[in-house]
Structure formats: structure tokens, C-alpha cells
Structure 1
Amino acid sequence: MASQTKHIITGQAGEASAVRYLQEMGYQICCRNFRYKRAEVDVIAQKDGLLVFVEVKTRASDKFGFPEEAVGARKEALLLAAAEEYIYQTNWQHDIRFDIISITLAPTPTVHHIKDAFH
């Protein structure tokens, strides 16, 4: 299997795990893979009147660092742009938050939810 294919499969598995986790925590999933120009928000969810934009980062292991370390300033700017567009399209008038869900698949699958990861 090609490296790129493994990378895509790992990412998709992570996003599916993140969605299950959010639903178990009482979040309602509003949208997955929302795209705006060159930006994408992996998951947009709602809970208690709060709209949450979630970046999901998944790694097969933490051998080369933790998944959340891959979210830099450029990714943050892209997420903000996509969030602004989603808010505009849906006319959202309430509070928002940006979270990161970091998933490491091995040695045992772990989910780390970082709430209010950036502003």
C-alpha cells in the first residue's frame, strides 16, 4: 500500500473516531469536512449553544511527536477563514470555540481533546 494511501486511511479513521467521541460527549455533528477556498474544517459540532470547529490530527504512533503539534499558525489561519465563512453562511449568532482532537492509534488508541486550542 502506498504511503499516501496509508496516510489518507489513517486520517479518515481518526476523523471517524473523533466524531464518535464527540457524539459520546453529547455534541451534535453539524458538518464534516467543510471547505472554503483552500481551507477545511474537519468537524463542526454544536453543544449547549456553542459552535465548535474541530481540527482532527491523527498519527499511527507518537514516535515522531504528538499529533496536535502539527497544527501551526498557517493551519490556524485557514481554520479561522473557513469558520468565518461557515458562520456567514449559517448566520450563526452565538459563541464559537476552536478545538483540536489529537488521536494516536498505537500502541493503544488514545483521544486527547484540547478545548479552546486557539482564539
Structure 2
Amino acid sequence: MPALTVLGVNPDTPREVLVNLRNDLIATLETEMGIKSGMTRVFFPVDMLDQPEEGQDDLIWVFLYTGMFTSSPTIDVAHVKRTTAAIAAKVKEAFGGKYGVEVFLRACDSDTKTLLHAD
């Protein structure tokens, strides 16, 4: 189950923009990774400090957490780059190009995880 964390979004961003971006990111992962929309979670954590440090307010960071790219012995780097580029394009478009966007893959190893289902 992939999860995206989008960091550096202005806390004054209208909810509608975030909802539309979430939907666009989910649709992007459906296309790029061949998964169902219910498999993806998107998080927009709020910075606990009032202001970013000087020069840090023009870039949004996105982390894609998934084990889907590392489930085979070799990583398809072209597939990863295509997916991260598609994510970056959606985020940049959502904010009208006002921010740069950097996307990172955070590979999750299914052999080292624990999942406890709800009762």
C-alpha cells in the first residue's frame, strides 16, 4: 500500500486545492503503478513552526513510501523515475508552478514490517 507525504505546503492552502491534489496523486499512482485507488494514502503534515527558515519556502518535498518497486530482485529505475516525475508534475501543477518539487522514493521492505489489522 503506497503512501505519499507532501511536506512544505503553505498551511493557508485552501482545502479544495489539497483535496484535488490528493485525488490527482492517487490517480497518478493508479496509472503509474497499476494499483487500485483505495490502496494509496496521501498525507499533508503541517509544520509546527510559524515560518520556514530563509530560502526554504519555495520547495515542496514529497516522499513515496512503498515496497512495490523493491519486491523484485532488481529495481526498474526507469519506472521509478517515471513515477516520481509524474508525482512532481502533479504537485507543481496544483500550485501553478509557484514551488519547485522534489520527490523521493522511500523503499519499504516487506520482510521487516509488521502489520496489525483492526479488530
Using structure 2 for the length normalisation, give the TM-score.
0.42
More strand by share: 1
Task: Work out which of the two has the higher radius of gyration on C-alpha atoms and give 1 or 2.
Answer: 2
Which has the bigger relative contact order, CA under 8 A and spacing at least 6?
Answer: 2
